[in-house]
Amino acid sequence: MYRRCALTMECVRETRSVGQLTQEIPRAQRIEVDGQCVAVLIHGDTGDYIVPPIALDQAGDMVMGRSVLEAIIESGSTVEHPIIHDCTPAQLAWLDQELTRVSAELCVPIGNL
């Protein structure tokens, strides 16, 4: 079965002013598959990219998203980012497959913050 991803309308926005024109620009949107947030679509100054979630296995060890977490900590920013708990190897494989599919569907690479 083919599933489409959904980009939620709730997103982080940046306000830019040029002369008398003020414009809100979406900077990040949640990517949901089957109602579950699986990643974040970042609209960066140099292009768009998908940031994978932080995933923890059943022992609480981080199995995905270490570089994402490091980038968040290094930036000093407060961000909302999906964290998936109790991830089994099968769920991790599904997640990796879904991220690849969503990346192809949106024509946007998977990257890091």
Give residue-wise pLDDT tens across range 32-60: 888 888 899 888 778 889 999 999 999 99
Domain presence at residue 113: no
Domain presence at residue 112: no
- What does the mean pLDDT of the chain come to? 79
pLDDT reported for residue 1: 33
- Residue 12's alpha-carbon distances to 9, 23, 38, 40, 51, in angstroms, are 10, 13, 17, 11, 14
Domain presence at residue 111: no
Taking residues 4-11, report their average pLDDT: 47
- The SS3 assignment for 22 reads strand
Count of structural domains within the chain: 1
Taking residues 23-36, report their average pLDDT: 76
pLDDT reported for residue 21: 60
Q: Say if residue 92's pLDDT is above 60.
A: yes
Domain presence at residue 88: yes
Domain presence at residue 76: yes
C-alpha 98/C-alpha 103 separation (Å) is 8
**Which pTM does this prediction carry?**
0.73
Q: Which residue has the higher pLDDT, 75 or 97?
A: 97
With bands split at pLDDT 50, 70 and 90, how would you rate the model's confidence at 20? low
Range of the domain at 42: 6-106
Domain presence at residue 11: yes
